[in-house]
A and B are shown apart, each in its own frame.
Chain A
Amino acid sequence: MSTRSNSRLTSWRGIVLALAAASTLAGCATGPNPRDPYEKFNRKMFAFNDAVDRAALKPAASAYKQVLPTFVQTGVSNFFGNLSDLWTGVNNLMQGKGADGLSDLTRFSLNSTFGLAGLLDIGSEAGLPKHNEDFGQTLGAWGVAPGPYLMLPLLGPSTVRDALVVPVDIAADPWAYKHPVGWRNFGTAVRAVDQRAAVLDASNLMEEAALDRYEFIRDGFLQRRLSRITDNGEQKIKFRKNIKKDDAPAGAKSIKAAYPDDPGATVPAGAAPASTPSSAPAPAAAVPSDAQNIRAAYTDDPGPTDTASEVRQWAAAPAMSSKPASK
């Protein structure tokens, strides 16, 4: 929920952040997961966020989705999305992704003018796709390691690195300077509700898929965040300042394995250069195929399942085409 707005809220959030940082640094019991040493604290914060969601945000989002016409919802989403494109573009430029950054800034100009202050997303129709970047991602692209997982009040899952620069992202949000303050607060609330409404169905599904929602969200978030920073594996990033080796998300290891430092070492004999897309990133010569990277991503892999035994197993499973056996 992005409640980035009035100064009261901001300062309150600052206090909470400071408290969070303090209590985590004070050293909560070390959890079993090396990426989540503050699990005890994080779980409490997660329960708090969840309570807020159930009591206020989710009901509001459900009502919003049911009552308002779709074009209004789309307009709201486009409007705030447009405001965020500006900062996204700046971050892309800071990460050295000039083409993406210019595309974002062009999007912002187009949508802010011809798109009626952002209500219409004509940029997407013109072939300028929407990106999503923030300062935490920029730091990641510069090689700053994420540090431990950290659950923030109201803002949700994060990492120590990203939490520290939340104030930067807030300061870079144009809506944070909207006057009068009443409008600013109203808009902030609407944006939060709109964003929640967009994922209602998904969140319901996820409640079903997860055995332990805390762990599910954590393990998904950390991978998701890394994937964003590497732009789905397109960018090669070597994290410096790793607090401990084990603190990097497990995904980082596979990414590192995926893009070995020694460029010449990994070309398998049979790799046909022709199969490498011409748009491959700079160290292209070292990326003939995904096969090695994929193997490196799994430990304890028993290999493909033998067909015969699998068929037997399926035949033995009663639950496939009907509900699982009733109680």
Chain B
Amino acid sequence: MIPPAATKTFDELTLGHGVSLEDLIDRDALGEMVKSFYDLFGVPLRIFSEEGRLLGDAADQIPLYTYLNTAKNGRALMHEVVSRVKNIALGDDGFASYQCTTGESYRVAAISYDGKRIGRMILGPFVPPNQAEPPAALLNLDSALEAPRLHELWQTMPHAEDDAVVKLARHLGRTLDLLLFSGHRALLTSNMHLASVRESFRELEDKNEKLQTAFDRLKELDRLKSNFLATVSHELRTPLTSIIGYSEMLVEGLAGDLTAEQRDFVQTIRDKGEQLLQLIKGLLDLSKLESGTMSLRKTQTDALSILRDVAQTMTPTARKKDVEIAVEVENGLPLIWADTERLRQVFLNLTENAIKFTPANGRVTLSAKLTSVEAARPEDAGGLVIMSARRTAIEFRVADTGIGIPEDERARVFDAFYQVDSSSTREQGGTGLGLSIVRRLVDGHDGNVRITDNQPKGTVFVVTIPVKRATIG
């Protein structure tokens, strides 16, 4: 249950306008304390909140009152006493006293906390110790009440001096004050805990919102960049196709014979045009991959034939550089679920890269073997024991004996336009687009690509592609 004070504000709780007796003290504990006071001093005791709710009551049924209640005048008297005592006005010192016509007394004292009255305690009824006999007013109250019985019951009334009761009230007040102080302290502490957590939470929410806004903006910028790349690439390709086409026609002599020198020049224009076209295609691929508009046409694909095809295509380039190229594939590899054309592009890219960075007499090895990978699955997929967490995959390796890639550069080589050696005088050409395309294509196959060392020197690009399509998540 939420305590009533939990909804109060910090100001209400500390500036002293909102704290009530019920907020500060546990009702059951108060009841126990009141009971123990009664047991010790024998004076009946009740505690009321400022609003008049009874919070603690330690007064056995008083036999005299039970008897008075059996007669008409007795009932009327009881009724009057209760209402007078409950509503009595307290003096500046916080005390009031009420003397019944029938001889019993009550003492009422304010319960204050931090200078404010938050409740009252009612002590009584009690009769002075020296009054051994019931007063005449009681004996004559109602003819239905028998005098001997009244005499007998009078003896069971709590006896106490008024001074002693006042002392008792003061002592009780001081004890209560301590309890109220501790209660207030505990209340403030728990409220501060809550409020601090809430405040920290609000702060975090604020920050999250700012981050989300910044993130959304960046995403939008990224999308705009990809769109821009796609548009520009397309617009560049159109005139370039004409340049290449017409140069080709010139070389083939469709516009008349060319001198050897002219043919050379036009051939250069054509070659450079081709090179430019490849670069633009790369850009286009990248932007398509980034904007998610490139669709992969996945079928059951044979890994071995892809690697052989790539090796064959790259053999002339390797031979030119005096680099040996080899394919090593385990027997009996299963088919993989992939876009053959795009996967070929991945390994062409990696192999071309490997040859580029391998010095003469080096070696580039393409290999493939069966392995298994941790399947990506949603957090709450459940049934981990049943749903195998591992998926069968094929691990492709493109290993070279080249210059290697420093450890701290490995994560970044997959970023678009990134070059390990970005100096303008670098030995190796390239746009820096190849590897970023490779990674995005591999991602598109639910696979991953990483870089490790080749022993004794060189680099291995490890590409892992799952055998079956993902079924979980």
User: Do these two chains interact?
Assistant: no
Residues of A whose CB lies within 8 Å of any CB of B are none
**Chain B residues close to A by CB (< 8 Å):** none
